[in-house]
Copies of this chain bind each other. A is one copy, B any other.
Amino acid sequence: MSTWTLTNLDLVEACDDFPYHHDTRGLYTLFLPNDDRPHGYMLPQIVQQMPWSAEFAVNHENRTVQLQVSAECPDLSKACNHAFAAVINKAIDGDIFPTLHKKHSEMFKIVGSAYPVQCERFASHLFGITARGAHLTVYITTDTGMRIWVPRRAQSMFTYPNKLDTTVAGGVPAHQTPFENIVQEADEEASLSAELIKRSVKAAGVLTYIGHSKQGLIVPDQVFVYDLEVGPDIVPVPRDGEVKEFNLMSVAEVKTALAQGEFKPNSAVVMLDFFIRHGIITAENEKNYVEINLHVLVFLFNQRPVTVIYKICH
Binding site for B on A (CB under 8 A): 20-21, 111, 177-179, 201-206, 208, 222, 224, 276-279, 282-284, 289-291, 293-295, 297-300, 303-305, 307-308, 311-312
Q: Are A20 and B308 in contact (CB under 8 A)?
A: yes
Of chain B, the residue at the smallest CB distance from A278 is B202
Extra inter-chain contacts (5) besides given A293-B297, A308-B311, CB under 8 Å = A20-B307, A179-B283, A206-B283, A208-B293, A294-B304
CB distance from A308 to the nearest CB of B (A): 5
**Considering only CB atoms, which chain B residue lies closest to A227 in the complex?**
B279
Given A297-B297, A298-B297, A312-B311, the answer on whether A178 and B304 have CB atoms closer than 8 Å is no
Q: Find chain B residues with CB under 8 A from A284 CB.
A: 177-179
What are the residues of chain B within 8 A of A178 when measuring CB–CB?
283-284
**A304 close to B291 (CB less than 8 A):** yes
Which residues on B sit within 8 Å (CB–CB) of A202? Answer: 278-279
- How far apart are A104's CB and chain B's nearest CB, in angstroms? 27
CA distance A205 to B20 in the complex (A): 24
Q: How far is the CA of A279 from the CA of B298 in the complex (A)?
A: 21
Q: Do B179 and A282 touch (CB < 8 A)?
A: yes
Measured between beta carbons, the chain B residues less than 8 angstroms from A208 are 290, 293-294
Contacts of A222 in B (CB 8 A): 290
Report the separation of the CA atoms of residues A21 and B208 in the bound assembly, to the nearest whole angstrom. 21
- B20/A283 in contact, CB under 8 A: no
CB of B283 within 8 A of CB of A294, answer no
What B residues does A276 contact at CB under 8 A?
Answer: 203-205
Q: How far is the CA of A254 from the CA of B177 in the complex (A)?
A: 26
A270, chain B: closest CB distance, angstroms: 14
Chain B: CB-nearest residue to A285: B203
Q: How far is the CB of A94 from chain B (nearest CB, A)?
A: 35
Which of A205, A278, A299, A305 gathers most chain B CB within 10 Å?
A205
Partner of A205 from B179, B293, B305 at Cβ < 8 Å: B293
**How far, in angstroms, from A305 to B294 measured CA to CA in the complex?**
8
A272 smallest CB distance to B (angstroms): 11
CB pair B283 A303 closer than 8 Å? no
Check B279 against A203 for contact (C-beta < 8 Å): yes
Closest chain B CB from A19 CB (angstroms)? 11
A224 cross-chain contacts in B, Cβ below 8 A: 283
The residue that A312 contacts in the complex, of B278, B293, B297, B308, with Cβ under 8 A, is B308
Complex: A201 Cα to B179 Cα, angstroms: 29
User: From A306, which residue of chain B is reached at the shortest CB distance?
Assistant: B21
Complex CA–CA separation, A294 to B303 (angstroms): 9
